[in-house]
Amino acid sequence: MKRIISIQSHVVYGCAGNSSAVFPMRRSGMDALPINTVQFSNHTQYAEGWKGMVMPAGQITELVQGLENIKVLGTVDALLSGYLGSAEQGEEIVAAVEKLKAANPNAIYFCDPVMGHPEKGCIVAPGVSEFLSTKALAAADVIAPNLLELETLTERVIHNLDEAIEACESLIAKGIKMVVVKHLSRAATSTEKFEILLVTAEGAWLANRPLYEFAANKQPVGVGDLISGLMLANLMAGFEPVIAFERTNASVDAVLAETFKQNAYELQLILAQDAIANPVIAEHAKQVK
């Protein structure tokens, strides 16, 4: 069994951050160890608001030290990071990655560079985007941005698939082993489907899933966190990158299909758990470079 430390946000109700990623990783056979950067009552896009707090500085370092003290850290195979409550937490994560790799040189760092979308109610603290573009990028083995985050990381404007691939390749050239673009948005080849992209040193692959007509104010939150958690879990399970990518896309589609069927705002992870563990790949990824 592979072991993953997951450092990201947590909501008491619903699915975002660790609340979106930890159960699917465990259902995929991983021993997922959550460390929360924030703890909120619910995700921040509820019109009624939310309650909670950013975890205090030093807590990530303290918890990782605790794992080292009980000789668990050296048994961890990967570290996943997502939403950060402060830039200082980012510094603690990079230090945790260094400590993890010293204990287990084969461990990998999977960075989900959440930079926020103010128009959607997702706001990150000052300095977080800068940290992700510099120190996190330098430390990461795998990175999973959406299109806007990819533009920020590569300091370019991306209009189409070819430019998205070129941007990913520029990250590969800097030492990143794998880039998963979780949402191609305006760079997609079709407006009829939702497209995601995988780029490695060996090539580029495009996958798609259906678009579900959720109400404008009820678009499920936490899908990106789910993608990152499942992609890492599939890689840790030993699947080759393209197969891991296909399995991830199929599982996410199954979750969204069930969420739409239930007319729910929050991702229906429990109802879709069998498809998370054993996804049916209806359409294979297409190599585009």
Annotated binding site: 9, 44-45, 112, 144, 149, 182, 225
Instruction: Identify the CA nearest to 82 among candidates 128, 47, 48, 44.
Output: 128
Measured distance CA(258)–CA(278) in Å, rounded: 15
Q: What's the number of CA atoms in the CB half-sphere (13 Å) around residue 62?
A: 7
Instruction: Identify the CA nearest to 94 among candidates 83, 79, 106, 76.
Output: 79
Measured distance CA(159)–CA(162) in Å, rounded: 8
Q: Binding site for substrate: what residues are annotated? A: 9, 44-45, 225
Q: Binding site for ATP: what residues are annotated? A: 112, 144, 149, 182
Measured distance CA(215)–CA(204) in Å, rounded: 33
Is the CB of residue 127 less than 8 Å from the CB of residue 160? no
Count, residues in the chain = 289
Is the CB of residue 227 less than 8 Å from the CB of residue 180? yes
